[in-house]
Structure 1
Amino acid sequence: MPPRRRPLLAAGVVLAVLPGLAACSDDGERQEGDAVSEAEADVLAGLLARNTEEGGADFVVTAPYGEDALLTLTGEVDYTDDVGRAQAVTSAGGAEQVRTVFFTADRVWFGDVPGLAEALEAAGLPPAGYVRRPLAPEGEEASAPLTDVLVRLVLNLSAPEGDDPGVFRAGDYSWEGQRSIDGRLSTVFASPTGWTVAVDGSTDLLLQYVTGLPGQESRVTVSLSDHGPRDIAPPADEETVDGAAQPALLAAVGL
């Protein structure tokens, strides 16, 4: 496979290998667990590249963690400039916390942060609506903040070019049937490492990706919709405080 960005998979495998679609084989009715066909391997090989070609998408990411806790990111991503924004809702024990998040491949911005105004005042810093800090590096998913892992996963669902379809024809990738996602008929495929994808039957676009995360039994679901160009701008420097230069501030507001 050509060099490319690598999404986060439970077993550290490249998401460059994603499947594509077909409902029936030449030999008759499909059975769940059947190997992907040549046509499906072709769709699979171009799945991430098609996200790049489309330019962006709306997304929803759900990630259970801990006991009775859930992090949900709802937003949009620009795959042309590698930037996104989302509303992050943390639900735990019946209580919710909502923050605004912007992200790029190397930075993340947090807005609507409880206690930020007071922490800035206590640190003698001017008012700011957002705190920015570096995004946790790839390869450190097990210890990185969950928000960082999820936004990087969203960004990594794209690639500058397609892969070799032979990867899927030779591998143990399987057809897992069809189902409706947000009113769109999709075909589901599974990888030998445990992640699954659902592919739109009419457009060959990625609708859903489900995977595990290092050190967690629960699975993360990324749903994409309304594929197309996006124009997203992170907060300007004058609107933000540099959290990397203010570690005590980051600690004070839980970032």
Structure 2
Amino acid sequence: MRARRQLVLRVGAAGLGLLLLAGCTDDQRQPGEPVTEDDAAVLAELLHLNHEEGGADFVVTVPFADDAVLTLTGQIDFRRQVGQAQAVTVVGGEDRDTRTLFFDRDDLWAGDVPGLAEALAADGAPEAAYLRRTLSAGEGEPPLLDVVVQVLQNLAAERPDRPAAFLDGPYRWQGEQAVDGRPATVYRLRDERTVAVDDSDRTLVQYRTPLGGVEVTVTLAEHGTRRLALPTAEETAEAADHPEIAEAFGI
């Protein structure tokens, strides 16, 4: 199980980290101004609020090559660190790959890929529809999909941070914008990261971070309790037991 780190120090695989945010608005404020004490109080509760709310719907977009975009659309239970998503890779405006994903703190399941169930049945797993593998621990160059999953999982914390921690450092008020029609306050963080926080309920609605030459954008909505079920043992085959199939299907 991964250790839970506080927001100010959070730096997950491939540079995940530092999710800060939000606060009051003022017509006289200018982009680039330091956060105020009121902002700091909101920042300190942000990831804790995600945990308290329980979960959220999400859309993650990652342009990772020329004319190529990975999009994950799904739900996450922040308390259990369990999620499910539809992953679509579009290249040159055309869908090239679509699959269903599930994940928890340790593992990733992939299925609903044409031909996968048939290949597993021929390889001795007649009831399996999903392949499961261990999520990368972050050493070396983890797969992009693993980094995206860990970005999502790092958007919640069991305890709030100290407000004072946000009053020093590069944290800046950046302005106002609408995210999916919701008025939000945007803050600039370290290393070109930004967050947008809902002006009405102070929930995190968008997080952007550059990672290894690409930008990951996470948009959250409909915060609240989620009850998500992972694939059963009967539906699951281990990628380690079917390495050729896992490689052939990009799992």
Q: Same fold (TM over 0.5)?
A: yes
Residue identity in the other structure for 2:37? E
Match of 1:101 in 2: 101
- 1:155 Cα deviation from its structure 2 partner: 1.1
Identity rate of aligned residues, in percent? Answer: 49
Match of 2:20 in 1: 18
Q: Number of matched residues?
A: 245
Match of 1:29 in 2: 28
Match of 1:126 in 2: 126
Match of 1:154 in 2: 152
Q: Of 167, 174, 184, which aligns to 2:172?
A: 174
**Structure 2 unaligned runs (5+)?**
none
Alignment of 1:202-217 (within 5 A): 202-214=200-212, 216=213
- Give the Cα–Cα distance (whole angstroms) in 1 for the partners of residues 119 and 46 of structure 2: 44
- 1:103 Cα deviation from its structure 2 partner: 0.5
The Cα offsets for residues 78-111 of structure 1, whole Å up to 9 and x where unpaired, read as: 0121100010011013331211110111101111
Instruction: Decide whether the 8 Å contact of 2:13 with 2:147 is kept in 1.
Output: no
Residue identity in the other structure for 1:98? T
Q: Match of 2:52, SS? A: helix
CA RMSD for the aligned pairs?
Answer: 1.9
**Structure 1 unaligned runs (5+)?**
none
Residue identity in the other structure for 2:221? S
- 1:126 Cα deviation from its structure 2 partner: 1.8
Alignment of 1:53-132 (within 5 A): 53-96=52-95, 97-132=97-132
Instruction: Decide whether the 8 Å contact of 2:117 with 2:130 is kept in 1.
Output: no
Q: Of 186, 189, 207, which aligns to 1:188?
A: 186
TM-score, normalised by the number of residues in structure 2: 0.91
- Give the Cα–Cα distance (whole angstroms) in 2 for the partners of residues 3 and 67 of structure 1: 35
- Give the Cα–Cα distance (whole angstroms) in 2 for the partners of residues 68 and 198 of structure 1: 26
Q: Match of 1:43, SS? A: helix
1:225 and 2:224 aligned: no
TM-score, normalised by the number of residues in structure 1: 0.90
The Cα offsets for residues 91-150 of structure 1, whole Å up to 9 and x where unpaired, read as: 01333121111011110111112331342244233242111111111x33x622221111
- Give the Cα–Cα distance (whole angstroms) in 1 for the partners of residues 110 and 188 of structure 2: 34
Instruction: Decide whether the 8 Å contact of 1:134 with 1:244 is kept in 2.
Output: no
Match of 1:47 in 2: 46
Displacement over 3 Å in runs of 4+: 5-10
